[in-house]
Structure formats: C-alpha cells, structure tokens
Amino acid sequence: MSEYTPKERLSRALTGQSVDRMPAVCVTQTGTVEQMEACGAFWPEANSDAEKMATLAEAGHTVVGFEAVRVPFDITAEAEFFGCEIKAGTKEQQPSVVGHVVKTLEDIEKLKGYNLDHGRIGVVCDAIKILADKYGEELPIMGSMIGPFSLAQHINGDEWFMAIFTDEAFGLALMEFTTDFCVAYAQKMVENGADTMVIIDPTASYQLIGAEFYEKFVVPFHKKIIDAMHEVNVPVVLHICGDTTQGLALMESTGVDAISVDQNVDAAAAVANVEKAVIVGNLDPVNMLWNQTPETIREQSQKVIDAGIDLLAPGCGTVSKTPTVNLQAMIEVAKSHKY
C-alpha cells in the first residue's frame, strides 16, 4: 500500500520532506513517437492544440509510467507569442526560433500590453486545465516554460550574448521584460491547475556566461519568478544545460527548490555543491536513454542514484525516438529506490 499519492510524494520530495520512495518523473520534455502512436496525438499538432497536447502529456503517465503529467513539449511558444518567426516542427522534431523582434529599448516598449490568452501560451494553459481536471487530485501537474534569459536570447537573437557585455541598460531592461512575462505566465499556469513549475533556461548556463554575468543577468530574475511561485506554494525546478557544476551555488541562491543537471555534470559533485536544493538528473538522453538497452540504462540509473542524485530523470529533453521500454527501465529503478 502506498503511503502518498504521486502528487504528495513529488511535492514532499521537492520541498525536503520525507517520502516512502523516489518519485519517477521527468522534468524535461516527455513526448516521444511511440507515445504519439499509442495515444493518437502527434507533433506538431500537439504543440498548438490543447486537447492533443493534454492527450500526449497524459501518455507520459498512461503509456510510459511517469508519475506526473507535464506540458508543453518545446520552448518556443513564448518567443512565438512575441512575434518571433518560428521554423515549424515535425512529428519527430520540435519547432525552433528563427526570427527575432527586439533590437532596441523602443522595441521592448512595443511588446508591452500583451494578453496571455493568446497564441500557444493560451493553449498550454488550456491543456493544463484539462489535465488538472482529470488528474489534479492524484498526479503532479507540471507546467514548464522557457526561462527569462533564454527568452531574451530568442527575442533578441544571438547578439544577446554580446548585449549583456556591451549594453547593460538594454540587457537589464530586456531581462525585466521577459521576467515580468514569465511571472505572469507561471501564475496563469498555476491558476489553471499547475502545481509544479519547471523553468527551462538552457542558455543561462554558467559554462557559457560565467559567474559575473550569471549573478547580474540571471539570479535576480530567477528569484523574482521563484518568489512569485512560492507565494502560491508551488515548488520550482530549474533546468539549465551544460556543465553547471561551478554555478550550482549561484543557481541555488535564488531559492529554487530543485535543479536539473545534464549529463555533463558529475552527479556526486552536483549534490556536494548545493546546500539543500534537490538535484535532478542526469541520464544522457542520447547516448543512454535513446541508444542503449534497458539493462544498461538500469545499471547507469543505479550509478547515478548511488552518486547521490535526489530525483532520477533524463539530463535534458527526452529524444522523440526514445523507446518506451528504455524510459520504463529508468522509472523502475527510480520507483524501487528508498532514500
């Protein structure tokens, strides 16, 4: 007999309370082709249709066995919302941002006064509502969004990395803008039933920008989102790509509940570099989860758990071609682990 519902278990695990065993969740994107074929909701339609999005998210639980449901499957809806040109995705590939809309402070002003019901932002919120109505009592409902730094990069283009170096006033103004949006969007997801927030901020990586830029252009802005979520008792998971080992203390200084690390990070070093943040990760989505056998995945999962990882999960977004049995091998190891 299970002591907790999956919802209670994850919530407790993320906030440092005792649990009966490890929850089996994936904080990064969950959609795979096998799930699409099983549930009939395919990319790219599932990125822009709330019913299909909810159906494919649900498959992460019903087909694969994750103890949570999570939307969306990509990180371009936010940039699209502000008018950035998007290269459409396919059944196997996520969409990507190809056009950028902000060059100057005046451009930022023009984007203000938006309505969150519009575009795929509204779709994600509707999908959360569908999932929360169906599973809200039992399963964690994870809402995910791009973080403010990577959104700024999407909106401004690759010039963004130079802007934070050469034009601090512009850099900080764009961060204010994207952060205000992220706070409002996260709050709306929570109103619709999300109980766990995931911030995916891939390019706010310590490996790319170092301590000085991270402290100035990321920490205060992540803190603002996290504070807003804590006000409504929603725990926050932060995922950032690359070798973030040396940046973990800075990342944790925002008050974030959990930090998801990728396969470039040594799990034991990650755990040693935080005070109380829950470390999530970090099976290689390509060379392990996609391309290895369930047996190898079980072995590696056990290694990562032995290294002290708090929540076993993919180190980055699940590759769409990943076999379900491979994900299930990871889930099995997570579920059998008692802390």
Partner 1 sequence: MSNQEMLDTLRDTVVTQNINGCAEATQAALDAGLSAVEIINDGLSPGMKIVGDKFEAAEIYLPQIMMSAKAMNAAMELLLPVLEEEKGNTDGVGLAITYVQEGDIHDIGHRLVTTMLEANGFKIVDMGVDVPNEKVAEEVSKNKGKKLLLVGSALMTTSMLGQKDTVAMLAEEGLRDSVKIMFGGAPVSDAWITEIGADATAENAADAARVALSLMQ
Residues of the shown chain interacting with partner 1 in the complex, contacts defined by CB under 8 A: 87, 92-94, 96-98, 158, 161-162, 164-166, 208-210, 213, 241-242, 246, 285-287, 290, 319-320
Provide the minimum distance between the beta carbon of 83 and partner 1 in the complex, in angstroms, as a whole number: 17
The residue (of 11 and 300) whose beta carbon lies closer to partner 1 is 300
> Residue 319: is it exposed, middle or buried by C-beta count within 10 angstroms (0-12/13-18/19+)?
middle
Give the residue among 56, 58, 33, 113 at the shortest CA–CA distance from 81: 113
Rounded CA-CA distance 135/164 in Å is 42
Peptide bond into 44 cis (omega under 30): yes
The residue (of 48 and 203) whose beta carbon lies closer to partner 1 is 203
Provide the minimum distance between the beta carbon of 220 and partner 1 in the complex, in angstroms, as a whole number: 18
The residue (of 37 and 138) whose beta carbon lies closer to partner 1 is 37
Provide the minimum distance between the beta carbon of 165 and partner 1 in the complex, in angstroms, as a whole number: 4
The residue (of 254 and 320) whose beta carbon lies closer to partner 1 is 320
The residue (of 165 and 339) whose beta carbon lies closer to partner 1 is 165
Structure token pair of residue 182 = 């992220």
Provide the minimum distance between the beta carbon of 214 and partner 1 in the complex, in angstroms, as a whole number: 9
Provide the minimum distance between the beta carbon of 164 and partner 1 in the complex, in angstroms, as a whole number: 6
Rounded CA-CA distance 50/186 in Å is 17
Provide the minimum distance between the beta carbon of 290 and partner 1 in the complex, in angstroms, as a whole number: 7
Provide the minimum distance between the beta carbon of 263 and partner 1 in the complex, in angstroms, as a whole number: 10
Provide the minimum distance between the beta carbon of 226 and partner 1 in the complex, in angstroms, as a whole number: 24
The residue (of 19 and 319) whose beta carbon lies closer to partner 1 is 319
The residue (of 81 and 217) whose beta carbon lies closer to partner 1 is 217
The residue (of 281 and 285) whose beta carbon lies closer to partner 1 is 285
Rounded CA-CA distance 71/62 in Å is 15
